[in-house]
Structures are given as structure tokens and as C-alpha cells.
Structure 1
Amino acid sequence: MLSEHVVKLTEQLQTLYHHIMALLPDTLIMHGQLITVSMLLLAVIILFSFSKIRMDVIAILAITAIIMTGVLSPTEALSGFSDPNIVLIALLFIIGESLVRTGISFQMSEYILKIAGKNDIRIIVLIMLSVALLGSVMSSTGVVAIFIPVVISIASRSGIHVKKLMMPLCIAALISGMMTLVATAPNLVVNSELERANITEFGFFSITPIGIGVLLIGLIYCIISRNWLISPKQAQQAQQSPSRRKITDLIRDYKLTGRAHRAQILTGSPLIGRTLNSLHLRSQQGVNVIGIERWRKFRKVLIPVNGATEFIENDVLLLDFAHSEADYRQFLTTNSLEPKVLRGEYFSDQVKEVGMAEVALLPESSLYGKTLNEIDFRSQYFLTVIGIWRNHTALETDNLFEEKLEVSDTLLVCGDWGSIRKLQTRTNDFVVLDFPADIDDVAPASSQAIPALINLAIMIVLMVSGIVPNVVAALIACLLMGITRCIDMTSAYKSIHWPSLILIIGMMPFALALNKTGGIALVSELLKSHLYSYGPYIVLTFIFLLCSFVGLFLTNTATAILIAPIAINIALDFGYSPYPFAMTVAIATSASFITPVSSPVKTMIVAPGGYSFMDFVKVGIPLTILVLLVDLLLVPVFFPF
């Protein structure tokens, strides 16, 4: 009933809006619609800046509001869902996950430490070059997710404060968007605007010369500014920090000794055919199921578990049991289980299958004040929380899952490595602080590293040659990744960062609405009357600064969606080539260094780097000015007016 009333109310409001519009002159209607779109855009910016509502939810609300005003039809407002660039971005997430699963990404961290040792300048240079190279062919968000634990590990081993390294990681990830056409979504948005204006699109490496210049300046700047954000005391504390911990250290620190067991389900067991949720093993018998060893296609694999996991005969259960040995024997007898040999403490000898990681709650996490039972952590993430670090010690309690989470808590999670790695994309509530050193030898598809590199090379060759469209090249690479077992379908679907895609789709209608209501033409006319006499360099500077200003509030993708058509329209009206102006939009939107809210790349490093809002302002403003100078110097050389 409530939904019917909402639908009727929506229809009545829309009818009233159209009746009012029908009474107004055409010119006033046009400006009225422009004002409506502008107010909606302002509302979106305000909602983004407060960060009280998820950005993808705001994007969906924006689409709904634009349709209700009648400025765009449902087909126009939802056209982003059929945009090839959206599909391309999703496919690049899958390519990035393939590189993680095959161990290529983590081999890079070993290489960096081997070459750079403990020299902070060499480490910064190698991190930035590695991130820029990897980010040139995959999502910068994915690159940062890969490199956060790598950078934390390097900081721990080298004795360099993590603040020195995390900001260069962020800057390099943003600059990586200037390396190739497919490196970041704004580039694809700009290219789409050129295509929409019936102008020949940029090539795969069109942006690369400017990107190399910006990267060089960024490297020099990060070396000079590397000590700006840390005090001498912080630097000294970092040098005294212990070496990177292993799983055996986590077992000791969290007091897990003696709690791990293996047991096989025998014929007639009451567990057979039952799901984990229906058995209530944790609440009634104090047993945590960490994973299941199960035979598939003549080999034994570790099955991640959640509440819906169903037990079958001959499953070998990996169990966490904190009570007495007598209680454990009683549990085995009651459930017709046979104990199996367990070598090493708490699955430490099964490190290739069973992993651990420490997870810190982010300041804006929605999990504070909730218990682990309320969160249902295992059902959401296929992992079990086996310890909580609170007030500088492991929390000792009879019922860990009834403890309410506090601000300073660090959670120790256990399960398969694939599920642990996927936690890196859960940026709203927590971040993986560090992987134990044991992970360096672990990758779920490590034997497929060479095929993964070959598949990546095939995609790049296809994109550079232009034999097929970029989205088809990425699709071919994803299919090859699947055929060569670099990634499975479950991991592929989970690797796609859906909120980012929805955000992009939700902001696309604003560019179309501003164009349809005359907003872009109006801005172009205003700029034409005020800027034309100053020459192309001043216009180029204005476009860059406009992108930087809008980028303080909106994501770089949303900024490109709004500014790219304006920049191209201005260039055509002034009689200039559209390419330098379109390229400046691509460069400026990737150079969004000033605030931590305009890109997931920056948001992800705030907590692990220990940064404040002003840290980004302090580093971001000078760097933005330097990138502007590089843009003014190089863009006209490669793309004459």
C-alpha cells in the first residue's frame, strides 16, 4: 500500500510540474529547466561534501530526480547503463584482479625492496614508477587497493614512516591516469565527448607525453616534500618499528595457541546437508568454522564459508575451538566427526590456503557500537573474526562475537587469501592494515602469472593498434584470463567496483541535461564574451582551474562529465582546435590532489596513512599549480591551437 501511495504522489508532483511549465513562455521554461538542473547539481555537490549518504546512492537519487522533472526522458537519463565506457571500466577491474590473483602485484613489492633497500628516495621513485606503470593499464583504484598493503609492508621493513610513502602512492595513482587513454574513467569520458561532437578521438598514447612530463615533476615534488607531513619524532619512531610480522607472530600476539583443529565429517553425521547458520555452532557450542577442505576434480581445495555454506560427507572442517580438550572431544562425538592431524599452530602450516590479516575500522565506519553477530561478518565477507586488538592487547573474552566494536579496535580475520584480499575494496568501513609476511609466497593462481602477462600484452596491443574497439580488446583479455584460469567467474564479478560504476552512470545525465537546457551554450557564451580577447593560453588556464575548482566537490569522473562538453564547445566557438582543451580536461581531472573526497584513490589512503584533510591541502595546492604549468607548456606543443 505504501509503495502505491508513493507512486501516485510522484505522478501527481510530476503532473503539477508540467502544468506549471506549460503556463510559462518558452524562454522562461528553458531557463527554468536550467535552474532546476543547476539546483539539482548543487544539491548533489552538497550531499557529496557532507559524506552522510553513499555516493552511489546519491547518484541514483540524482537520476530519479532528473527524470521526475521531465528535463530528460527515462531513456536519456539511463543511457549510461549502455555506454561502452562503463563496460570497459568494469572489465579493467577484472584485469586488475587477475594480476592480484596471479601474484604479479606482490612480486613487485619484493622487487622494490630488493633494489631500493632502506633509502627513502629510491623507494619513493620505485613505488611511483611501479604504480604509474600498472595504473596505465588498469583502474587506479585497483592499483591503490593492491599497493596499500605493499607500502605498509615496505614502511615496516625499511623503518620509513608510512606517511612518507602513502602520499606518493596516491599521487602516482592519480598521475597514472595521464599515462594512457584507458588508464582512468575521465579520459574515456573526454573521448566520448569528442565522439559525440563528431570529432576524431584521441589515440591510446595521445596523453602519454604530457603524462610523462607530469610524472617527472611529481617525482621531483614528492622527493622534495617527503618530510613535510611528519615530525622528527614520528620519523624516529618509524625507524625503531619492528620488522614485518608473520602468521606465527599473530598467533602469539592474539593468544591463539591450541585453538585450531581439523575434523572430518563421517557418514551419518547430523551436520550433513545442514547450513552453517542453521546449526548455530558458534553460539551454542563455541565452535568457529574457518574453512572447509573439499575434494573437487581430483584435488583438494579450501572452500570459503558463510552462513549459507552446506556441509557434505567427507568434508574436512578447519575449526577454531577455545574451550577445553574434553569439550572438543564431546563435540566430535556428538557430531560424528573424526579428528585429523594438524601440523603447526593455528593452521600456520597451511598458509597457502588459510590466511590472516589485521583490519582497522575507518573513522567514518558504520560498524562502531555493533557486535560481530549483528554485523554478520562471516556471511558478508566469507571470513571469521578470531581476535580483537584493543588498548594495546588482545581482547580476552568468553564470547568475542557479543563484544561491541570500539573506535580503536583492530580485527584479526582468518580464512582463504582470496576473501582477505577482497576486503581491500571495502573502503567505507575498514581497511586491511597489513598482510603477514607469509603472503609473499601465496597467490591463488600463481602458476598462471605468465599467461596473465601475455593476456595483458594482447589487450594493450589490440588497444594500441586499433584493430578492435577498446571495450572489445578488454573483453577479449578478460575471456583469456578466464580460459587460462587466471581468474574465476566469482572473483571476476566480485572484483568490479559497482559503486564507482553507478556513480559515473548517475552523473552522466547532468552533462546531457545541461546541454539540453542550454547551460553549456550559456557558459560558452559568457566565456566567449569575456575570454576570447585574452588568447588560447588564458582560456586553457581557465578550463584547468575550473576543473580544479569543481574537483574540490565532485569526483574526477563527474568533473570530466560536466566540463568536457563545455571545453570542447568553447574551443569550437573560438575557432580553436578542440584537442588541447579536451586534453586539458583529462589532465586537470586526474590532477585532483587538493582534497581527499574527490577520488576513491585519496579516500582509501587517509586511514592507513594517518592523514588529515589539511595534509592534502598542504601537498595538493603546490602540486596542482605545477601540473597546470606543465599542461600549459606541453599540451600546445603536442596539440596545437
Structure 2
Amino acid sequence: MTHEMLFVFGLLAATVVLFIIDKLRMDLVALLVVVVLAASGIITPTEAVSGFGNSVVIMIAGLFVVGEGLFRTGIAAAAGNWLLRVGGRSEVRLLLFLLPVVALLSAFMSSTGAVALLIPVVLSMARKSGMHPSRLLMPLAFAALIGGMLTLIGTPPNIIVSGQMRVAGEPFSFFDFTPIGLVMLVVGCVYLVFVGRFLLPKSEARDPEDSHPTLSEFAERYGIRDQLHKLLIQPDSPLAGKTLAEMGLRTEYETTVFAIQRRSSSASSMMPVLANTRMQHLDTLMVYGSESAVEHLCQTLQLRRQGFPERDIMKVQQQFGFAEVLLPPNSSLVNQSLKQGRFRERFNLSVIGVRRNREPLTTEFGVTRMEAGDTLLLTGSWEYIRKLENRRDLVVIETPAEMHEIAANANKAPVALGVMLAMLVSMTFGLLPNLTAVLLAALAMVLTGCMNMNEAYQSLNAKSLVLIAGMLPLALAMETSGALSYVVSNLVENFGDTSPLVLCAGLFILTSSLSQFISNTATTVLVAPIALTTSQLLGLNPEPFMMTVAIAASTAFATPIASPVNTLVLAPGNYRFVDFAKVGIPLQLLAMIVTLVMTPLLFPFQ
């Protein structure tokens, strides 16, 4: 063993230790690896930073942009809502629907792409169902890796071993991988749903300082949880043809109408209420007010209650903005009532709650005067909510967590969906190189108005990109120094004279272990020729050995750097290094058992 090999092995061990003890951020450790390799001379400084221009890193960055486009046009939220309707709020049911979906996608496109596209969906599902994202994201990543076992194009190692088999005479066909992949998918889903999820952490997707309260928490904070009502204007109601100001609903009845649903409008269309909005017969009013005030309103003005079902609450959340604002001492609203301040006329928003000294305040629209330090809960069009940032009379304190799920460019949803489908078709059928397809899709998301460039830059997860880019040169150093070849050759020496099944087990352990720290593609490139040569020297059928290498290369479950798929979910799931080991190592053992049982049955050794 040369000095260079010892240095690389030592650097690899130190890196793993730093990841495990979790005292430094993983992206910082990756940058330290880059600096050490550049200074060591084992690879050149240019090679040490080559990971930042690697096609894998660029493709992942592009997929972040595509995923953001799906998020900002509402497609991710729509997909999450569908899964929630099908799976309900049960963690088990959601996983049983989600895991096969991502596995199927990964069978025909990049597993990295499948996960990048579904991360916004999963985060949306987690927020709406009240689950911890960490309970869903790691199973999502592992299912994507298993999905790569299903077809020839599912993952690069499959293509590499098939190319090696062509040298031996007959390459693997498109679906030769499917039987083992299907069994592994069933076993993996059962393990992740009924065992692995109990090993997952219950960590939040965001740091506490970055968290936002939900709409439900706002309602609790302002004491209005049971004060939202849906009222129908009957034909004999005097409200028809009148504006809210003319009827004095706030002054006379102490109720606030913040939205109208027109009978002629689609079921999902709601109108914000402005000062000059005129009501019509059979309009449905979305009203905030106490039970007694609303009952008085209904009896006096011939309105009929219609309840406020969950689906309508969700529509309000999606189509109307909410914000908590503070009245600064220099605000012109201080010492004025809401009526005197002409709040709706000035801001085109409705006040549905007031707090003073951190306690909900019962207000009378024309009497109660606002004080400096009061906080108001506002609702109305997102257009006017966003304009609050430029108003001196109010200071925006918080917006609800649901605001980050609002589709600001919902009208571009068909365009974003078309861009995504075009990318998937291109990647599945090889019409364009994967990198080209992803970059074109990312550019199309911006050029078609699904998002702007600032939003595209914000979508890039720097921590994940730096981690991947920093670890790629370590794989190169292992190849350049001969460290990887040294490990492989020792395996052949130790297992060459044993039974074929034991040799398969040795190849699986070697390939799977190396894939936890370096690219599974690089691992397969090095191990596949050894497996082929060894089987030929022993006079055995190379198919079971090559299939073992391909499946083992996709079992990158035990570390967050094992695959870009794992790295993608690292930050949004707020995982630690050891979390992957706890859940991933048992899954690796199950994969080895499935492979060693299935491979000889499908591909005999003789």
C-alpha cells in the first residue's frame, strides 16, 4: 500500500468521523476535503474543484429550479392535495401511496429528478397533514433508489453492467432487472412503512427561527377559530345591489365580510370584498363575526347559513392572503377607530382580529380606538397583502406558513406541467442528454413566466450542492491513488476460491460499502470488470455476478453522501448523518438477502 493510498484512506475515515460526530456542518466538511485534496498533490487543484462544474451538480441545480416552478404554479400543492385525499392523514397510508409512485417515476427517469420534483409535494403534504417532513422524505429517497432497480435505464450502474455484459456476449434487456426490483420494492415498502419509520427522527423541516405560524394558530391567537361563517343572500334580502359601506355591516352588525362567491362563478372562484363591491341576490358571503352578531345579521337581512366546510376553508387559504401587522407609534391609524381610519378603503383589506398586550381584543368597528403596539390580523387579496410592505402605517410581522404554498403564478400551471412532461419524455426515451433536458426545462420555467430569476436563484439548495460538489473529488482521489483498485483486488483474492454464492455476497458487500462514500457510477465502473473477469476465470455464468453488482450499487442507503438523492432530502428533512445509518443499514441487509435469493433463481451460476 502506497503513501498516497494511506492518505486517501485516512482522509475518507476522517471525513466519515466528522460527519458522524456532527460538530461541523456537512457542507463545511466537504469544503475542507476540497482544500486538503488540493494541497495534497494527489489530484491537481483544478481537479479538486472540478465537482462544482460536474454535470451531476449542474443537473441537480437545474432540477431545483424545475421543482420551484412546479411549486410556484401550484402543481406541487395540487399533487399533495390529491395524495392527501387518497391517503388521508394517516402516515401509513400516505407512505403506501407515495413510495410506489416515486419508485415508478425512478424506473423511467433519473431518481434524482424524481425526488427533486416530489420534495415540494411532500413538504406541502406534511404541512397540511401536520406530519413531520422527516417522516416522509427519507422513505421518499430510498424508494427512488429502489425504483432505479426496476429497469435498464433506472440508474447508471444498470447501464454500465449491461455494457460490460455486451463484451461477454449478451447484454441485459430492458426488463431483466424488473423481477428483482419488484421484490425489492415490496420488501422495501414493507420495511419503511412498518419498521423503518419508527427509526426516523421527528424533526421539523425548518429551523425554529425560520418558522411561521399556521392559519389555525393565527385563528387561535386572535380568538376567531369559531367565528368564520358562510351566508347566502336570499332573494328578499335588502343587501342586493348595496355595498357594505351603504349597509353598515361593520358599524351596525359588528361583522366583517371578507369574500364573496358569485352563483355564476365557478365553484373555486371567490372575490375579495372592496369598499365599492356591490352584492347580488344568491351571492354567498364569507363573514367573520361572533355567533350572536351573525345570528342577528341573518335574521334582520334575510341571510341563510350554509356552514363552512373544510374544502371552502382550503379555498380561502389558497385564494386570500392573511397577514399579522403591527401599528407603529407614528401610524396615522393610532387613536382612530377602524371606521375613522377608513381601513378597507385605504388598504383594500379586511380586519378580522385585533390583539392588545398579546391578548385578543373585542372591538367595536366605529368605537374602539387603535393604540400603538396593537396587532391586527388582515385578510384580502394577495396582491394587496404584498403591498403592505411599502406602507408606513403598518409593519408586517408575520405571514402564515400556508402563504409559502400559495401559487403566485397559478395561471402558468399548464405551462409548467407541459415543461415537466417534456423533460420526463426526453429523459425517458433518450431524446436529449439528461443534463440538456433538465437545463432546457429550467430555462423554460423562467422564460415562460412560471418564475423569475430571483426565485430561481432562491430555489438552489446551496448546502446540498456544495456537499455533492465537495465529495466528488474524493472519489477521483480514490481512483487516482489506486485505493479503490486495492480494495477490489483484495476482495478477489479472498473470495475467488469460495462458492459462487459467497463470491456474490462479497461483491455485494464491497459494492454497497463503496457506494456509501463515492459515486455508485464510479464504483460500478471499477467493480463490474472485476466481477466479469472473475466469473469468466472460474468458468461461471457472469449474469448473476453482474446483476449483483448493479443491485448493490443502488443500495446507497446508509449515508447522506451515498447518492445525490439522499443529499437532496438532507436539508429539508433536517436529518443528521446517523439518521441515514439507522434506517439504511437494515435496508441494505434486506437488499442483500433478496439479491442472493433471487439472482441464482433468475440467472443460474452454470
Would the TM-score normalized by the shorter structure come out above 0.5?
A: yes
Spell out, residue by residue over 1:385-423, the C-alpha distance to the aligned partner (whole angstroms, 9 max, x if none). Answer: 83xxxxxxxxxxxxxxxxxxxxxxxxxx428xxxxxxxx
In the alignment, what sits opposite 1:12? none
| Alpha-carbon distance change, 34 to 414 in structure 1, aligned in 2, over 3 angstroms | same
Q: Aligned-pair distance for 1:497?
A: 2.0
Q: Name which of 31, 41, 58 aligns with 1:60.
A: 31
Spell out, residue by residue over 1:265-311, the C-alpha distance to the aligned partner (whole angstroms, 9 max, x if none). Answer: xxxxxxxxxxxxxxxxxxxxxxxxxxxxxxxxxxxxxxxxxxxxxxx
CA distance in 2, matches of 1:480, 1:323: 43
Matched, 1:452 2:416: yes
Q: Aligned-pair distance for 1:319?
A: 8.5
Q: Aligned-pair distance for 1:169?
A: 4.8
Matched, 1:350 2:381: yes
Matched, 1:474 2:438: yes
* 1:347 counterpart letter in structure 2: L
* 1:83 counterpart letter in structure 2: N
| Alpha-carbon distance change, 148 to 464 in structure 1, aligned in 2, over 3 angstroms | closer
Q: Name which of 112, 122, 128 aligns with 2:83.
A: 112
Matched, 1:140 2:115: yes
Matched, 1:320 2:290: no
Q: Aligned-pair distance for 1:142?
A: 6.0
Matched, 1:568 2:494: no
Partner SS state of residue 457, structure 2 = helix
CA distance in 2, matches of 1:140, 1:249: 30
Spell out, residue by residue over 1:589-612, the C-alpha distance to the aligned partner (whole angstroms, 9 max, x if none). Answer: 1476999x994466557669xx99
CA distance in 1, matches of 2:220, 2:456: 35
CA distance in 1, matches of 2:36, 2:451: 39
Matched, 1:72 2:43: yes
* 1:321 counterpart letter in structure 2: L
| Alpha-carbon distance change, 471 to 603 in structure 1, aligned in 2, over 3 angstroms | closer
Spell out, residue by residue over 1:447-476, the C-alpha distance to the aligned partner (whole angstroms, 9 max, x if none). Answer: 222222222221122222223211111122
Q: Name which of 498, 512, 515 aligns with 1:534.
A: 498
| Alpha-carbon distance change, 46 to 119 in structure 1, aligned in 2, over 3 angstroms | closer
* 2:531 counterpart letter in structure 1: A
Partner SS state of residue 545, structure 1 = helix
| Alpha-carbon distance change, 458 to 632 in structure 1, aligned in 2, over 3 angstroms | farther
Q: Name which of 76, 80, 84 aligns with 2:55.
A: 84
Partner SS state of residue 534, structure 1 = coil
Partner SS state of residue 443, structure 1 = coil
Q: Aligned-pair distance for 1:506?
A: 1.8
Task: Please show how residues 401-440 of structure 1 align to structure 2 within 5 Å.
Answer: 413-414=398-399, 435-436=401-402
| Alpha-carbon distance change, 536 to 93 in structure 1, aligned in 2, over 3 angstroms | farther
Partner SS state of residue 588, structure 1 = coil
| Alpha-carbon distance change, 108 to 130 in structure 1, aligned in 2, over 3 angstroms | farther
| Alpha-carbon distance change, 229 to 613 in structure 1, aligned in 2, over 3 angstroms | same
Q: Aligned-pair distance for 1:327?
A: 6.4
Structure 2: state its 5+ residue gaps: 203-211, 225-322, 337-342, 353-376, 390-394, 537-541
In the alignment, what sits opposite 1:586? 553
In the alignment, what sits opposite 1:494? 458
Task: Please show how residues 224-235 of structure 1 align to structure 2 within 5 Å.
Answer: 224-225=194-195
Q: Aligned-pair distance for 1:147?
A: 1.1
Partner SS state of residue 24, structure 2 = coil
CA distance in 2, matches of 1:82, 1:563: 20
CA distance in 2, matches of 1:385, 1:544: 57
Structure 1: state its 5+ residue gaps: 1-29, 157-161, 235-244, 258-317, 332-336, 356-377, 379-383, 387-412, 416-434
CA distance in 1, matches of 2:150, 2:46: 27
In the alignment, what sits opposite 1:426? none
In the alignment, what sits opposite 2:68? 97
CA distance in 2, matches of 1:252, 1:638: 60
Q: Aligned-pair distance for 1:528?
A: 1.1
Task: Please show how residues 9-408 of structure 1 align to structure 2 within 5 Å.
Answer: 31-117=2-88, 121-132=92-103, 138=113, 140=115, 143-144=118-119, 146-154=121-129, 156=130, 162=131, 167=135, 169-180=137-148, 187=155, 210-225=180-195, 249-255=216-222, 320-323=325-328, 328=333, 339-345=346-352, 346-351=377-382, 354=385, 386=397
Look at both structures and tell me which one has the larger radius of gyration over its CA atoms: 2
| Alpha-carbon distance change, 63 to 612 in structure 1, aligned in 2, over 3 angstroms | closer
Confirm or deny: 8 A CA contact 1:56 1:499 kept in the other structure: yes
Partner SS state of residue 541, structure 1 = helix
Confirm or deny: 8 A CA contact 1:593 1:624 kept in the other structure: no
* 1:98 counterpart letter in structure 2: G
* 1:587 counterpart letter in structure 2: S
| Alpha-carbon distance change, 120 to 46 in structure 1, aligned in 2, over 3 angstroms | closer
Q: Aligned-pair distance for 1:209?
A: 6.0
Confirm or deny: 8 A CA contact 1:181 1:207 kept in the other structure: yes
| Alpha-carbon distance change, 453 to 567 in structure 1, aligned in 2, over 3 angstroms | same
Q: Aligned-pair distance for 1:31?
A: 0.5
Partner SS state of residue 571, structure 1 = helix
Q: Name which of 427, 436, 450 aligns with 1:463.
A: 427
Q: Aligned-pair distance for 1:527?
A: 0.8
CA distance in 1, matches of 2:396, 2:181: 43
Spell out, residue by residue over 1:205-239, the C-alpha distance to the aligned partner (whole angstroms, 9 max, x if none). Answer: 88666544332223333454489579xxx9xxxxx
Confirm or deny: 8 A CA contact 1:593 1:623 kept in the other structure: no
* 1:628 counterpart letter in structure 2: M
Q: Aligned-pair distance for 1:98?
A: 1.7
TM-score (norm 2): 0.60
| Alpha-carbon distance change, 466 to 195 in structure 1, aligned in 2, over 3 angstroms | same
% identical equivalent positions: 25
CA distance in 1, matches of 2:172, 2:385: 46
| Alpha-carbon distance change, 511 to 189 in structure 1, aligned in 2, over 3 angstroms | farther
| Alpha-carbon distance change, 110 to 493 in structure 1, aligned in 2, over 3 angstroms | same
Partner SS state of residue 347, structure 1 = strand
Spell out, residue by residue over 1:224-273, the C-alpha distance to the aligned partner (whole angstroms, 9 max, x if none). Answer: 4489579xxx9xxxxxxxxxx9965433434599xxxxxxxxxxxxxxxx
| Alpha-carbon distance change, 579 to 102 in structure 1, aligned in 2, over 3 angstroms | farther
CA distance in 2, matches of 1:525, 1:589: 22
* 2:528 counterpart letter in structure 1: I
Q: Aligned-pair distance for 1:513?
A: 2.0
CA distance in 2, matches of 1:123, 1:505: 33
Matched, 1:509 2:473: yes
| Alpha-carbon distance change, 607 to 247 in structure 1, aligned in 2, over 3 angstroms | closer
TM-score (norm 1): 0.57
| Alpha-carbon distance change, 67 to 224 in structure 1, aligned in 2, over 3 angstroms | closer
Q: Aligned-pair distance for 1:43?
A: 1.5
| Alpha-carbon distance change, 153 to 637 in structure 1, aligned in 2, over 3 angstroms | farther
Q: Aligned-pair distance for 1:122?
A: 3.5
Q: Aligned-pair distance for 1:443?
A: 0.8
Q: Aligned-pair distance for 1:526?
A: 0.9
Q: Which shifted more, 63-72 or 528-537?
A: 528-537
| Alpha-carbon distance change, 603 to 614 in structure 1, aligned in 2, over 3 angstroms | closer
| Alpha-carbon distance change, 53 to 142 in structure 1, aligned in 2, over 3 angstroms | farther
In the alignment, what sits opposite 1:24? none
CA distance in 2, matches of 1:354, 1:208: 52
Partner SS state of residue 348, structure 1 = strand
CA distance in 1, matches of 2:68, 2:456: 7
In the alignment, what sits opposite 2:307? none
Confirm or deny: 8 A CA contact 1:101 1:487 kept in the other structure: yes
Confirm or deny: 8 A CA contact 1:128 1:169 kept in the other structure: no
Structural RMSD (CA): 4.9
Confirm or deny: 8 A CA contact 1:101 1:443 kept in the other structure: yes
